[in-house]
Structures are given as structure tokens and as C-alpha cells.
Amino acid sequence: MAELQVRSLSGDSISLSDEQLAQLGVRGQVISPNDAEYNDARQIWNAMIDRNPGLIVRCSGTADVIQAVKFARQHNLLVSVRGAGHNIAGKSLADEAMLIDLSPMKLVRVDPEAKVAIAGPGATLGDLDHESQAFGLACPVGINSTTGIAGLTLGGGFGWLSRKYGMTVDNLIAAEVVTADGERLRCSSDLNPDLFWAIRGGGGNFGIVTSFEFRLHPVGPQVMCGPAVFPFAQAGEILRAYREFCATCADELTVWAVIRDAPPLPFLPPEVHGSRVLIIVALYNGDIAEGEKALAPLRGLGELIADGFAPHPFVGFQQAFDPLLTPGSRNYWKSHNFTALTDELIDKLVDYGGRLPSPQSEIFVAQMGGATNRVDSTATAYPHRDAEFIMNVHTRWDDPRQDQTCIDWARDFYEATRPMATGGVYVNFISEGEERIEGAYGANFERLAQVKAKYDPDNFFCENQNIKPQ
């Protein structure tokens, strides 16, 4: 391997010889820009992110992570960390940095009697669902099976089960963390509780989590769920009815609203494909017959184009939207939290939903509340326990020539809805803007900065939605 140039924490370039690289001492693969695997190894989900690490260390286990951190500290190297590489902002990659790649660490182990799962940082939601559903168990996670469990959890994590069982961080029992000095620490409510508090929403600022221990709950394996599709022309009326329906939902029921062009799904008539629609997506976490009763009123919200409500395997429903979120497209997101869907907000949703900038773009409104809001805002680093709805403006396209058009539309929509929002934001939905990081943590921000100063005073872990030590 030829001598490599890797960026230092101070910004200058450091030369690493073959002899120095041999001191890494990892069992996993070490990849340089000269290797045939390099281009594939540096790819992440969002194709807008095109960065070139100076060195990639693919870790096979905790020992490799410890070695990589100690090597980087010894040589004062800038480091980025990747789990499954799904983060919208692309913080897992930095030009000329040393990438600590956790993607090979995918092991998931389930104890069905204890209702506990242990997952590695390279595991995806699909990996966790697959193992836990074999025993009729699940953890509240996100809605796209290719999302990495590490990034999702460290930012908070929510999905179809959260109104019943809470956020992903509310179901984290313990974690193993490699700190900035290369020390392995276990943290829980009893052990290093300040670190445990911080990683439950504070992102990758405090160390590299090499193992997550989750509480599991009985789910399915069949659940009543699916989408109901309506004409976009009725969107304003249906969203107002949706607002009233959500106000009386049981915790077992979660209902999201999505504005997008109809994908070519088999249950949709071919003549509808590509036309603007409003999709109401719901899941009832409980008895199938009770779920049928709970979802039935949603069919009457408007003139149905298609009704996909039916019993489905939970693990399959978790993968249902994967085809709309495949890697390789350009993505830019904007997000707000809301305590209510006001008439003014609904008018904006319809206005901007009527002029989506690309066929793949969508606006989704996720219903929160329930168990997610029965946790004190200071109990975890994730603070948004007042959010009843989270909106993600998901702009997605393939042609780089559309960049400015799509980004401008998302920013305009974001600004138009800002007056109705809480000012908070889900950190995993931030595409850009350091000013949004304080909004992601609210009153918890100062405490997070203090924990950062304790565990990473030099801001070694800085390639993230960064909280500077204080």
C-alpha cells in the first residue's frame, strides 16, 4: 500500500506509511483510495454526498473499534463513523478523513424469554425485525428496513409501534461505548448514567456504540395495517378529518399521511400510477379484529382510489416502502415538529403538495403522541415529548441538474410552515444547518454539552450533528 494522506484534526494533511498502517492491528479490512473496493466502500444512501475518505477501516468487532480509535488519536487523525450509512446529512463521510466503518458488525441476538435483543452497530432495522419477529417480538424502530439501527437509535427513533411502546431510545436498556480515549464503557440507568442519558438522542457525539441492548414487546407476527389512497383533490378535506380522527386514537393505532405521486404498486389501478395522491397509512398493534374496527373509519375520509387495509406480516410491512427509498438517488430533507395540524398548516401542506418538484418527492406527516409523549422531556437527550406530529419534507430526485429546484422548493416550504411549528426538530431529519442542532435538543442542549466535555473534551467525534464540549 502506497503512503496515504489523511487529514488531521487541525486540518493539515498527515502522511501514513505502510509501517504505520501495520500498527493499526485490526482484523477487519483496511481500504485505501488505491484499492479496487474503495469506491464501493465509500458509498452511502444519499447520492448527494460524494466524499473521499483518506482511509477506510472496516471493523469486525469492538476490538477493531478500540484499535482504530487509539490509532487515530495517536496520529491526530480526523475521524468519521459509519453504521449502515443511511444518515440524510452524510455525516458518516468526510474528505480525507479516516472512516471507521461499523457496517460489518451486523450481528443481532435475541433472548425470547427475557424479551431482549442485542444488536451490533452495523445492523439494519430489517436485521433486528427478522430476528425478533421469529419469536413474535419487536422493538419500536423506524419504517424503512434498510435504515441502520445505530443512527436511528442515537437520534431517538420512532415508527409504527412508538405510540404504544415509546421511542427506540425509551426501549434501550444498555449500550457498550468506545470513548474518545479508546476505553470501552458499558452504560445503563445504573452504570455511567450520564453517558446513557446522552446517547439516547444525542447522536454519535460521545463515543462509538458497539452494542445496543433493546427491550422487545409482543407484536404480530400478523398486524392489521396498510395504505388507503385518495385523490389529491380532496387532500384539504381529508387532512382535516385525519386531524380529528387522530385526536381520539388508541395508542395501538398509528396513522400517517403522505402526499406524493402514486407509485406503481400492484394494488393501485394502472391509470393512477404517477398521479398526485394523498395516502393514509395505518397500523394497529393488537388484535386483528379490533384493528379492523379501528381502521374502518379511515376508509370513509374521502373517495377511495384503493384500499390496502388488511392483515399483513409485520416484518413485511416494515419493508413495504423500501422500494421508494432505495440508495443511489439524491435526497434533501427539511422537517418541523407540530403540536397541532392547524387549518393554516393544512393549507400549506396542500399548496406545496400540489407542486412537488419531482416525481419521487413526498411530504409525510407522522402521528406521534401516545407513549412517546408520556416521558419527561429531560428523561433522555431526545426532548420532543410535546410533538403530536412530525413533518418530513422529503425531496428526492436523480438528475443533478434538478438540485437547485428541489432544494429551493424544500426550503421555501420549510419557511412557510415555520410559524406553525414548535421550533424543535428530529435530529435524524436534519440535512444541513448547524443552527438547527440547538433546536434538536432544546433545554437539554447545555447538559449535552457538559456530558460531551466529560467524555470527549477535545471534540474528537466532531463529524456528526456536532455538540461542542462546554
Contact yes or no for 105/127 (Cβ under 8 A)? no
pLDDT at residue number 435: 75
The DSSP element (H or E) to which 173 belongs, if any, is strand 172-178
Is domain 108-219 classified as CATH 3.90.1150.10? no
Domain spans of the chain?
4-101, 108-219, 222-429
CATH of domain 222-429: 3.40.462.20
What is the Cα–Cα distance from 114 to 346, expressed in whole angstroms?
44
Q: Tell how strand 310-313 and strand 253-261 pair up.
A: unpaired
Q: What is this structure's pTM?
A: 0.96
Q: What is the CA radius of gyration of the chain?
A: 22
Nearest-CA neighbor of 52 among 87, 11, 98? Answer: 98
Nearest 5°: CA angle at 454, between 450 and 459? 85
pLDDT in 10s for each residue of the chain, 470 residues = 568 999 999 999 999 999 999 999 999 999 999 999 999 999 999 999 999 999 999 999 999 999 999 999 999 999 999 999 999 999 999 999 999 999 999 999 999 999 999 999 999 999 999 999 999 999 999 999 999 999 999 999 999 999 999 999 999 999 999 999 999 999 999 999 999 999 999 999 999 999 999 999 999 999 999 999 999 999 999 999 999 999 999 999 999 999 999 998 888 999 999 999 999 999 999 999 999 999 999 999 999 999 999 999 999 999 999 999 999 999 999 999 999 999 999 999 999 999 999 999 999 999 999 999 999 999 999 999 999 999 999 999 999 999 999 999 999 999 999 999 999 999 999 998 777 898 899 999 999 999 999 999 999 999 999 999 98
pLDDT at residue number 310: 97
pLDDT at residue number 2: 63
SS3 per residue for 236-271: HHHHHHHHHHHCCCCCCEEEEEEEEECCCCCCCCHH
pLDDT at residue number 448: 98
Number of Cβ atoms within 10 Å of the Cβ of 146: 18
pLDDT at residue number 7: 97
Three-state SS at 307: strand
What backbone phi and psi angles, to 5 degrees, belong to 83?
A: -95, -100
Domain 4-101: CATH architecture, name and number where available: 2-Layer Sandwich (3.30)
What backbone phi and psi angles, to 5 degrees, belong to 17?
A: -85, 170
Helices (H), 28-124: 38-41, 62-75
Q: Which residue has the cell 415508527?
A: 159
